[in-house]
Amino acid sequence: MDRPLTAAELFDAVGQGYEDAFGRPPAVDEAVRSLLERLPDHARVLDVGSGTGRPVAEDLAAAGHDVVGVDVSATMIDIARHQVPRARFVHADVRDWETENAGWDAVCAFFPFLQMTRDEVTTVLVKIGRWLKPGGLLAMVTVPLDVEGLEVPFLGHTVRLTSFATPDLLDRVTRAGMTVLETRSTVFSPDREGQPDEEHLFVLAQTRLAQAQASAASLT
Protein backbone atom coordinates (compact mmCIF):
# COMPACT_ATOMS: atom_id res chain seq x y z
CA MET A 1 0.00 0.00 0.00
CA ASP A 2 1.01 3.62 -0.46
CA ARG A 3 1.61 5.89 2.52
CA PRO A 4 -1.72 6.60 4.27
CA LEU A 5 -3.02 10.03 3.34
CA THR A 6 -4.24 12.57 5.84
CA ALA A 7 -7.85 13.69 5.53
CA ALA A 8 -6.78 16.92 3.84
CA GLU A 9 -4.57 15.06 1.35
CA LEU A 10 -7.22 12.45 0.64
CA PHE A 11 -10.08 14.82 -0.09
CA ASP A 12 -7.89 17.26 -2.01
CA ALA A 13 -7.02 14.29 -4.23
CA VAL A 14 -10.52 12.81 -4.49
CA GLY A 15 -12.43 16.07 -4.98
CA GLN A 16 -15.66 15.68 -6.94
CA GLY A 17 -15.05 11.94 -7.16
CA TYR A 18 -16.28 11.57 -3.58
CA GLU A 19 -19.71 12.91 -4.46
CA ASP A 20 -19.76 10.77 -7.62
CA ALA A 21 -19.06 7.60 -5.62
CA PHE A 22 -21.14 8.24 -2.50
CA GLY A 23 -23.94 10.52 -3.77
CA ARG A 24 -26.79 10.57 -1.27
CA PRO A 25 -26.39 7.74 1.24
CA PRO A 26 -29.80 6.85 2.73
CA ALA A 27 -28.51 7.43 6.27
CA VAL A 28 -27.48 10.99 5.38
CA ASP A 29 -30.83 11.70 3.69
CA GLU A 30 -32.60 10.39 6.78
CA ALA A 31 -30.46 12.54 9.06
CA VAL A 32 -31.22 15.67 7.05
CA ARG A 33 -34.95 14.89 7.02
CA SER A 34 -34.89 14.42 10.80
CA LEU A 35 -33.25 17.79 11.25
CA LEU A 36 -35.64 19.55 8.89
CA GLU A 37 -38.57 18.18 10.90
CA ARG A 38 -37.15 19.48 14.18
CA LEU A 39 -35.32 22.72 13.44
CA PRO A 40 -36.83 26.13 14.13
CA ASP A 41 -37.17 28.56 11.24
CA HIS A 42 -33.90 30.13 10.08
CA ALA A 43 -31.83 27.86 12.32
CA ARG A 44 -28.05 28.15 12.56
CA VAL A 45 -26.53 24.85 11.43
CA LEU A 46 -22.86 23.88 11.45
CA ASP A 47 -21.82 21.17 8.99
CA VAL A 48 -18.56 19.58 10.17
CA GLY A 49 -16.73 17.92 7.29
CA SER A 50 -18.99 19.58 4.75
CA GLY A 51 -17.27 18.08 1.69
CA THR A 52 -18.76 19.16 -1.65
CA GLY A 53 -21.72 20.81 0.08
CA ARG A 54 -24.12 18.22 -1.30
CA PRO A 55 -26.55 17.02 -0.18
CA VAL A 56 -26.34 18.36 3.39
CA ALA A 57 -25.54 22.08 3.18
CA GLU A 58 -27.51 22.39 -0.05
CA ASP A 59 -30.71 20.87 1.38
CA LEU A 60 -30.53 22.76 4.67
CA ALA A 61 -29.78 26.11 3.00
CA ALA A 62 -32.59 25.55 0.49
CA ALA A 63 -34.96 25.14 3.45
CA GLY A 64 -34.02 28.62 4.68
CA HIS A 65 -31.46 27.76 7.33
CA ASP A 66 -28.18 29.60 7.96
CA VAL A 67 -25.56 26.96 7.17
CA VAL A 68 -21.82 27.12 7.74
CA GLY A 69 -19.64 24.27 6.53
CA VAL A 70 -16.17 23.50 7.87
CA ASP A 71 -13.80 21.21 5.99
CA VAL A 72 -10.09 20.39 6.17
CA SER A 73 -9.79 20.09 2.37
CA ALA A 74 -9.24 23.28 0.36
CA THR A 75 -10.44 21.47 -2.76
CA MET A 76 -13.72 20.48 -1.12
CA ILE A 77 -14.24 24.03 0.12
CA ASP A 78 -13.80 25.38 -3.42
CA ILE A 79 -16.28 22.85 -4.81
CA ALA A 80 -18.82 23.55 -2.07
CA ARG A 81 -18.64 27.31 -2.52
CA HIS A 82 -19.34 26.87 -6.22
CA GLN A 83 -22.13 24.31 -5.79
CA VAL A 84 -23.91 25.78 -2.75
CA PRO A 85 -23.66 29.59 -2.85
CA ARG A 86 -26.46 29.93 -0.28
CA ALA A 87 -24.21 28.49 2.45
CA ARG A 88 -20.87 29.68 3.81
CA PHE A 89 -17.79 27.47 3.96
CA VAL A 90 -14.66 27.72 6.10
CA HIS A 91 -11.38 25.98 5.31
CA ALA A 92 -10.28 24.70 8.73
CA ASP A 93 -9.50 21.60 10.75
CA VAL A 94 -12.30 21.15 13.28
CA ARG A 95 -9.77 19.76 15.75
CA ASP A 96 -8.24 23.25 15.95
CA TRP A 97 -11.19 25.44 14.95
CA GLU A 98 -13.39 27.19 17.51
CA THR A 99 -16.73 28.96 17.38
CA GLU A 100 -19.04 30.54 19.92
CA ASN A 101 -20.46 28.42 22.71
CA ALA A 102 -24.23 27.78 22.72
CA GLY A 103 -24.46 29.45 19.31
CA TRP A 104 -25.81 26.70 17.04
CA ASP A 105 -29.21 25.07 16.72
CA ALA A 106 -27.71 21.96 15.15
CA VAL A 107 -24.42 20.39 14.17
CA CYS A 108 -24.07 17.85 11.36
CA ALA A 109 -21.14 15.44 11.44
CA PHE A 110 -21.38 13.04 8.52
CA PHE A 111 -18.22 10.89 8.38
CA PRO A 112 -15.64 13.49 9.56
CA PHE A 113 -14.35 11.38 12.45
CA LEU A 114 -13.04 8.35 10.57
CA GLN A 115 -9.52 9.74 10.11
CA MET A 116 -9.17 11.18 13.61
CA THR A 117 -7.77 9.36 16.62
CA ARG A 118 -10.25 8.22 19.24
CA ASP A 119 -9.00 10.88 21.64
CA GLU A 120 -9.54 13.53 18.95
CA VAL A 121 -13.08 12.33 18.30
CA THR A 122 -13.86 12.48 22.00
CA THR A 123 -12.47 16.02 22.22
CA VAL A 124 -14.44 17.23 19.19
CA LEU A 125 -17.66 15.75 20.54
CA VAL A 126 -17.16 17.72 23.77
CA LYS A 127 -16.60 20.87 21.69
CA ILE A 128 -19.79 20.20 19.74
CA GLY A 129 -21.68 19.80 23.02
CA ARG A 130 -20.44 23.28 24.01
CA TRP A 131 -21.23 24.83 20.63
CA LEU A 132 -24.84 23.70 20.61
CA LYS A 133 -27.61 25.78 22.15
CA PRO A 134 -29.54 24.24 25.06
CA GLY A 135 -31.66 21.59 23.39
CA GLY A 136 -29.57 21.78 20.22
CA LEU A 137 -29.26 18.76 17.95
CA LEU A 138 -26.32 16.68 16.79
CA ALA A 139 -26.97 14.63 13.64
CA MET A 140 -24.12 12.21 13.01
CA VAL A 141 -23.49 9.46 10.47
CA THR A 142 -20.47 7.19 10.69
CA VAL A 143 -19.21 3.69 9.93
CA PRO A 144 -19.41 1.81 13.24
CA LEU A 145 -16.33 -0.40 13.58
CA ASP A 146 -14.12 -1.34 16.50
CA VAL A 147 -10.86 -0.32 14.79
CA GLU A 148 -8.06 2.14 15.42
CA GLY A 149 -5.39 3.17 12.91
CA LEU A 150 -6.32 0.44 10.41
CA GLU A 151 -4.81 1.04 6.97
CA VAL A 152 -7.41 0.47 4.24
CA PRO A 153 -7.85 1.32 0.54
CA PHE A 154 -10.34 4.11 -0.19
CA LEU A 155 -11.15 5.46 -3.67
CA GLY A 156 -7.74 4.52 -5.00
CA HIS A 157 -5.76 5.75 -2.00
CA THR A 158 -4.64 4.39 1.35
CA VAL A 159 -6.10 5.87 4.52
CA ARG A 160 -5.79 5.18 8.23
CA LEU A 161 -9.25 4.34 9.60
CA THR A 162 -10.38 4.74 13.20
CA SER A 163 -13.89 4.25 14.52
CA PHE A 164 -15.92 2.95 17.47
CA ALA A 165 -18.32 0.10 17.94
CA THR A 166 -21.82 1.52 18.34
CA PRO A 167 -22.09 1.25 22.17
CA ASP A 168 -18.70 2.95 22.64
CA LEU A 169 -19.63 5.80 20.28
CA LEU A 170 -22.95 6.39 22.01
CA ASP A 171 -21.17 6.41 25.37
CA ARG A 172 -18.89 9.20 24.15
CA VAL A 173 -21.83 11.22 22.83
CA THR A 174 -23.50 10.89 26.23
CA ARG A 175 -20.33 11.91 28.06
CA ALA A 176 -20.18 15.02 25.87
CA GLY A 177 -23.42 16.24 27.45
CA MET A 178 -25.95 14.96 24.95
CA THR A 179 -28.87 12.55 25.12
CA VAL A 180 -29.21 10.06 22.27
CA LEU A 181 -32.69 10.39 20.79
CA GLU A 182 -32.48 7.73 18.10
CA THR A 183 -30.13 5.51 16.13
CA ARG A 184 -30.57 3.67 12.87
CA SER A 185 -28.31 1.45 10.80
CA THR A 186 -28.31 0.86 7.03
CA VAL A 187 -26.02 -0.79 4.50
CA PHE A 188 -24.72 1.39 1.68
CA SER A 189 -23.15 0.36 -1.64
CA PRO A 190 -20.84 3.06 -3.10
CA ASP A 191 -21.07 3.68 -6.84
CA ARG A 192 -17.44 2.77 -7.40
CA GLU A 193 -16.07 -0.61 -8.50
CA GLY A 194 -13.94 -2.20 -5.81
CA GLN A 195 -15.32 -0.04 -3.00
CA PRO A 196 -17.04 -2.45 -0.57
CA ASP A 197 -20.47 -2.12 0.99
CA GLU A 198 -20.38 -0.42 4.37
CA GLU A 199 -22.64 -0.07 7.37
CA HIS A 200 -23.80 3.49 8.07
CA LEU A 201 -24.97 4.39 11.56
CA PHE A 202 -27.21 7.46 12.00
CA VAL A 203 -27.24 9.00 15.48
CA LEU A 204 -29.48 11.89 16.53
CA ALA A 205 -28.66 13.44 19.91
CA GLN A 206 -29.71 16.53 21.83
CA THR A 207 -27.94 18.65 24.42
CA ARG A 208 -29.37 18.24 27.88
CA LEU A 209 -31.02 21.56 28.70
CA ALA A 210 -29.96 22.03 32.30
CA GLN A 211 -26.41 20.90 31.72
CA ALA A 212 -26.04 22.97 28.57
CA GLN A 213 -27.34 26.09 30.30
CA ALA A 214 -24.97 25.61 33.25
CA SER A 215 -22.03 24.99 30.90
CA ALA A 216 -22.80 28.08 28.83
CA ALA A 217 -23.15 30.23 31.97
CA SER A 218 -19.81 29.04 33.33
CA LEU A 219 -18.07 30.06 30.11
CA THR A 220 -19.39 33.61 29.98
pLDDT of 100-152, one tens digit each? 999 999 999 999 999 999 999 999 999 999 999 999 999 999 999 999 999 98
**Bridge pairing between strands 132-142 and 198-207:** antiparallel
**CA-closest candidate to residue 183, choices 199, 161, 162, 163:** 199
Q: What does the pLDDT read at residue 186?
A: 93
> Within 13 A of 6's CA, how many CA atoms are on the CB side?
6
> Residues 48-97: pLDDT tens digits?
999 999 999 999 999 999 999 999 999 999 999 999 999 999 999 999 99
> Residues 145-175: pLDDT tens digits?
999 999 988 888 999 999 999 999 999 999 9
Residue 2 in any domain: the answer is: no
Residue 205 in any domain: the answer is: yes
CATH code at position 67:
3.40.50.150
Q: What does the pLDDT read at residue 193?
A: 57
Q: What does the pLDDT read at residue 156?
A: 85
Residue 1 in any domain: the answer is: no
> Residues 191-219: pLDDT tens digits?
655 667 889 999 999 998 644 444 444 44
Residue 134 in any domain: the answer is: yes
Residue 138 in any domain: the answer is: yes
Q: What does the pLDDT read at residue 192?
A: 57
Q: What does the pLDDT read at residue 191?
A: 64
pLDDT above 90: residue 3: no
- HEC string for the chain: CCCCECHHHHHHHHCHHHHHHHCCCHHHHHHHHHHHHHCCCCCEEEEECCCCCCCHHHHHHHCCCEEEEEECCHHHHHHHHHHCCCCEEEECCCCCCCCCCCCEEEEEEECCCCCCCHHHHHHHHHHHHHHEEEEEEEEEEECCCCCCCEEEEECCEEEEECCCCHHHHHHHHHHCCEEEEEEEEEEECCCCCCCCCEEEEEEEEEECHHHHHHHHHHCC
Query: Would you put residue 27 in left (φ > 0), alpha (ψ -120 to 50) or beta?
Result: alpha
Q: What does the pLDDT read at residue 208?
A: 85
Structural domain range at position 210: 7-218
Residue 65 in any domain: the answer is: yes
> Residues 11-34: pLDDT tens digits?
999 898 888 777 778 899 999 999
Question: How many domains is the chain partitioned into structurally?
Answer: 1
Residue 24 in any domain: the answer is: yes
Q: Cβ(184)–Cβ(27) under 8 Å?
A: yes
